[in-house]
Structures are given as C-alpha cells and as structure tokens.
Amino acid sequence: MSYELYYWTGIPGRGEFVRMALEDAGADYVDVARVKGDGVIEKLAKEVATPSFAPPVLRDGEIVVGQTAAILLHLGPKLGLAPRQAAARLWVHQIQLTIADLTVEAHDTHHPVDVNAYFEEQRPEARRRAAAFRQQRLPKFLDWFETVIARNPGRSGWLAGTRASYADLSLFHLVAALRYAFPEAMSREMRGRDRVAELCRRVAERPRIAAYLASGRRLPFSESGVFRHYPELDG
Amino acid sequence: MSYELYYWTGIPGRGEFVRMALEDAGADYVDVARVKGDGVIEKLAKEVATPSFAPPVLRDGEIVVGQTAAILLHLGPKLGLAPRQAAARLWVHQIQLTIADLTVEAHDTHHPVDVNAYFEEQRPEARRRAAAFRQQRLPKFLDWFETVIARNPGRSGWLAGTRASYADLSLFHLVAALRYAFPEAMSREMRGRDRVAELCRRVAERPRIAAYLASGRRLPFSESGVFRHYPELDG
C-alpha cells in the first residue's frame, strides 16, 4: 500500500523534507493534496484521533502522523534511511530537530512579528530579524553541521554513521532553500564549510534524487513558501 | 547509575520539561550545572561525538542526547511515562513537538527580531508579536490541546491513552509558564478550555509532582527565562 503525504500544494515547504526521503527510497507515495486539492488536509484533521496541528501529515495504513521530524522518525527505518542501532537513530532524529529549528528561524526572517499578516506589513521588522539571522544564527547553525560531520566516528562525510540518512537529505534541501532565500549570505557563509558543501554534492548525485530534482514533482521555491527570497533581507 | 541533566542554572527554561518527567518518576538524577556551574554545558559539547546545538542535554550512560523532545522520547519508556505501543509512542512524541513549537512562539514574543539583543531593544516589535500571539496563536494551540484530549479514545482526560505521559506533564508546565507570562490573556483564554484545566489540576496533584512543586528544586519563572512576564505584552 502506498504512503499518503498531505501538504499544501504549490510550495515545497516542510513537506519537501518528507518528499526527499520518499523519493530517495523510491517509495510508492501519493501527494494527496496535489491530486485532490488542499481541502483534504483539513478534512483529514477533522476525521482522525491524532489530528496534526499543521501539515505535513503522513498516512501509513493505520498510522496518521504529523510534525516533519516525527514523520521522518517513523519513515526512516522503513525506507532504509536510518541507522539500525537505537542510539544512532536518536542522534539522527536530534539532528533533524535542529534542522527544524533552523527552518523556523529562516521562516521568521520574513514573518518576524505576525505570521498571519503579509511580509509587506512587517518589512522593517523583517530586515532587522534577517540581519541578526544572517550574522549570528546562520553561521552558528552551519558551524554545528560542520562539527557534526567532522566528529562522526563513521568518517563517512555523512552526518551520522556510515550511510546516508534522512537527515542528510534534509540538510541538502535546507542548504538549497537557504541558497535560494539568501544567495549573498550563503555564498559568503558556505566558504570554508566544505563538509556541508560536499555532503550536499553527494546527495544531489544520488540517482533517484538527481532524477527527482530534474522532474516536475520537485516544486520550485517561491515567495509563497517557507523560504523566500527578498533581496532586502539578504546581504 | 543516575541520569545527568545539563541545563542553564537559574531558569526553569526548556530543562524543566525534562525535570518534570524525572521528578514524576522519582528518578535518580543530577542537575549537573546546578552543582558544578554552567561551564560544564560547553565542556560536554566539546567532548562528545553527539554535541547538542543547545541545552538541555541528558547523559544516560553512553547516550548523550539533546533537544527536549528527543530527550523525552528516550526517557519516556524508561520512566514509565510513555505508552507501550509504537504508534501511541509516536503520537505522544508528536504532541511534545507541538508543545515545543508553542514554547518557541511564546519565547519569541519577547525576542521577535534579535535573540542576542535585550528585550528593551525590541519592545515595539515585541508588543506587536505578543498581540498576534495572544489573539491568534495561543487560542489555536489551546483549542488543539482541547481537541486532542477530547478525541483520545482512552477517554482518560489525558492527552493520549489511559495513563499520564510525559506530554501531560509538559502541558502542565507549559500552561503554568503561560499563566506566568500572560496572566490576563490566559485567564480569558482558559475559560471554556476545561479539559486542559482539568488535566493541569490532575498533574499538580500527583504526589511526586506536588512534592516537587513545593521543593527548592523547582525554579521560579523570571525575566531571564524562556517565559517572561512583561505587563505590556499581556492583555
């Protein structure tokens, strides 16, 4: 039976972290809202005993799970994208949660004071938050990813263990998203962060990922999404 | 062997979600920084193969795990504070991740544009973010917790299953923290949210929690913490 992914149509958003894992594994899945419309997301939340606060949501038979990192915690072992050992699995999950934290911070650069108002209604605040993000937070997170790869006892160039995990796929997508949103800052900040850059190159070369990135299934970034490019927020 | 918790001294912060579980279970643990000083947190991060981006961090023998929700995912079953079935465990974890999301949003009311600057340097932005939080986000999250308790097939009054889990303890702490930070808004918003209120009452009455709350180990909320009371942000 195929997996069902529920996520807003039209943007890669947080759903993309899940898609990356499904695509890399060659899993059979349906992107339900892209077939039936966004209404199915609310409908699902009304029906189930485990309603998610927000999408993405994954249905896997009887299991309906939300929160990106929890979805990947569930899917990882089934897709061959998580280590076998429990402690190593927990570590990969912890990395994924830190990727989620950086995602929130990147989102909040364009919506610092009111998530329900337009960017245009909070531009001065966004400029200030984006500057703090670029100068302080982004380098700190990138340093952490470099350290994690460097300290991996598996010495594989991946974040954890000797094989790629869903966290590596997510880091690839996160870096791609940050390069879209903050091209100038990322061009500067990726200098010397060779481990992260090399990991991203290796993910892009994985055959199923390469095919996915070239396909119509991979949605483009845009100014409706979680990661947005506003030149005034970059630099 | 006792658990070691690493978290900043002086504030309950995110460490408190972990303490609530350890205390409720009567677990043997050391709050390491409160014994040896905050320096041990950075020292630990420098030594281990799995450095956490930020505290809290738990050391359990060979395992060193960060990210509050990941710590509780690990501890829950060992402390008897998680369901036995894998799907139910995943659901409790998903609830905990949503508690973490609300925690970030509550924190960002007083630090909306620069986490490294003082509140006093971002007061107008904080007022705007806090208004959006109180009017839109807080009611939405509280409604979600009400729905989760109402839909629990275990009909136990807890968030999931028939017994209290670490997520119930965390929700108690979160509501206490929000009541501290936003007394007016919470007094208004808790009206009619009887399931959440009742759950909190039941947590407070658990013997080990009651003893803990009355002890010197329970740190007070303050304006150095994650949840802060600034009257201009309430209302």
For residues A36-45, average pLDDT? 97
- In chain B, which residue's Cα lies nearest the Cα of A150? B49
**Which 3 state secondary structure label does DSSP give B66?**
strand
A112 and B113 within 8 Å at the Cβ level: the answer is: yes
Distances (CA, A) of A146 to A83, A205, B10, B105: 20, 20, 31, 28
Q: What burial class does residue B37 get, using C-beta atoms within 10 Å of its C-beta: 0-12 exposed, 13-18 middle, 19+ buried?
A: exposed
| B124 neighbors A112 (Cβ within 8 angstroms) | no
Residues of chain A contacting residue B87, judged by C-beta atoms under 8 Å apart: 62-63
- In chain A, which residue's Cα lies nearest the Cα of B52? A94
The model's confidence at residue A55, banded by pLDDT at 50, 70 and 90, is very high
- The DSSP secondary structure of A12-79, one letter per residue, reads -TTHHHHHHHHHHTT--EEEHHHHH-THHHHHHHHH-SS--SSS-EEEETTEEEESHHHHHHHHHHHT
For residues B127-150, average pLDDT? 98
Is residue A221 predicted with pLDDT exceeding 90? yes
ipTM value > 0.85 = yes
Is residue B1 predicted with pLDDT exceeding 90? no
For residues B18-31, average pLDDT? 98
CA distance B145 to B209: 21
Report the 10 Å Cβ neighbour count for A194.
11
- In chain B, which residue's Cα lies nearest the Cα of A151? B49
The model's confidence at residue B199, banded by pLDDT at 50, 70 and 90, is very high
**Which 3 state secondary structure label does DSSP give B119?**
helix
pLDDT of the residue at B114? 96
The chain-wide mean pLDDT, for chain B, equals 97
**Is A65 within 8 Å of chain B by CB?**
yes
pLDDT of the residue at A20? 98
Angle, helices A86-110 vs A166-181, to 10°: value is 10
Contacts 24+ apart (CB under 8 A), B206-211: B206/B24, B206/B164, B208/B23, B208/B24, B208/B25, B208/B26, B209/B20, B209/B23, B209/B24, B209/B169, B209/B172
Is residue B27 predicted with pLDDT exceeding 80? yes
**Is A60 within 8 Å of chain B by CB?**
no
Task: Name which of B112, B141, B151 is nearest A49 (Cβ-Cβ).
Answer: B151
pLDDT of the residue at B39? 97
| Interval A72-103: pLDDT, tens | 999 999 999 999 999 999 999 999 999 999 99
Q: Which residues lie closer than 8 Å to A114 by C-beta, 6 or more apart?
A: A121, A122, B128, B129, B132
| Interval B36-57: pLDDT, tens | 999 999 999 999 999 999 999 9
Q: What percent of chain A has pLDDT over 90?
A: 99
Residues of chain A contacting residue B147, judged by C-beta atoms under 8 Å apart: 51
pLDDT of the residue at A1? 73
Residue type, A138: L
**Is A67 within 8 Å of chain B by CB?**
yes
B53 and A137 within 8 Å at the Cβ level: the answer is: no
CA distance B193 to B142: 7
CA distance B1 to B45: 21
pLDDT of the residue at B228? 98
For residues A50-65, average pLDDT? 98
Residues of chain B contacting residue A141, judged by C-beta atoms under 8 Å apart: 53
| B14 neighbors B226 (Cβ within 8 angstroms) | yes
**Is B135 within 8 Å of chain A by CB?**
no
